[in-house]
Structure 1
Amino acid sequence: MNDNEARYTVRSLIVTGIVTIIATVLVLELSGRIDHTEHKDHVPVGDFKAIHIQPGDSFRMSRKSSELHAACEDGYLAIAADVDPSFRGILVDYKNRGVRCQRPSPMDPNPAANSDERSND
């Protein structure tokens, strides 16, 4: 390769790459494609899935801890971080309904009522 064939320098390629990244982020921001939420309390804490296990079945699970723990909060299951217990969220299903900590009594006329009210009966 002689000197006449060298068209681009390394510096020009790096500058072009940086300008391209900045322009892409700017265009996405101005067009509204990047979503910035104002309500931090409505941001999902994590994505969870349930594994159906039948007696005698084995399943594979990571040995590494998830650094999360569950707690009962006003009768609903809450997930909290081990490093910051104040950072917690109520576990909800796909229809945004809260997952209860315990199964309601079949005789309970209002199963969605607060668990504290039921425990006083």
Structure 2
Amino acid sequence: MSQNETRYTIRSLFFTALVSIVGTVLVLEVSGSIKHSDNKDYVPVGDFKAIHVTPGETFRMSPKASELHATCENGYLAIAADVDPSFRGILVDYKNRGVRCSRPSPTAPAAISQPEMPTQPEEPTSDE
């Protein structure tokens, strides 16, 4: 090896990479290329998955509680943040259909279709 060969230390390479990343983000932010949405209407609150629970079978779950809680909003399950309860969203499936809070009864009056009775016009009474 010759004496004129320049070597770079790990520290200088790491510093160069860090400055490059921070500089790129700052330039993109100043130029307006990074979009920040203030509209929270269509922002997902979280990503959820269901765990199939069978009687007698154990399942793994974290012992730590999440920072979310569920409430019932107009018959649908809503997930809200513990820190900001006004920030909540309705839980939907993969086809964007709402998940109900309770199962509707098949014998409930709203579920049974009532046959419509045809209305008959009243005959005028006469005193003849």
TM-score by length of 1: 0.66
- Could you list the runs of 5+ residues in structure 2 that have no partner in the other structure? 113-128
Cα distance change, pair 8–84 in 1 and its aligned pair in 2 (3 A): same
**RMSD over aligned Cα atoms:** 3.5
Shift of 1:94: 0.5
Aligned pairs for 1:39-58 within 5 A: 39-58=39-58
Q: 3-state DSSP class of the match of 2:79?
A: strand
Which ranges of structure 1 fall in alignment gaps of 5 or more residues? 111-121
Distance 1:38 1:7 in 2: 48
Between 76-85 and 1-10, the greater mean CA deviation after superposition: 1-10
Aligned-partner Cα distance in 1 for 2:68–2:60 = 19
TM-score, normalising length from structure 2? Answer: 0.63
Task: Give the structure, 1 or 2, with the largest relative contact order (CA under 8 Å, sep 6 or more).
Answer: 1
Identity %: 61
- Distance (Å, rounded) in 1 between the aligned partners of 2:22 and 2:43: 27
* Number of matched pairs: 108
Pick the structure with more helix per residue: 1
* Residue 9 (structure 2) pairs with residue 18 (structure 1): no
| Post-superposition offset of 1:96 | 0.6
The residue aligned with 2:126 is: none
Task: Give 2:58's aligned amino acid.
Answer: S
Q: Distance in 2 between matches of 1:18 and 1:62?
A: 38
Cα displacement (A) at 1:105: 2.0
SS across alignment from 1:42: coil
Name the CA distance, whole Å, in 1 between partners of 2:96 and 2:13. Answer: 51
Q: 1:51 to 1:90 in 2, by over 3 A?
A: same
Query: Is 1:70 equivalent to 2:70 in the alignment?
Result: yes
- The residue type paired with residue 94 of structure 1 is Y
Do the aligned partners of residues 4 and 91 (structure 1) sit closer, same or farther apart at CA in structure 2, a change above 3 Å counting? same
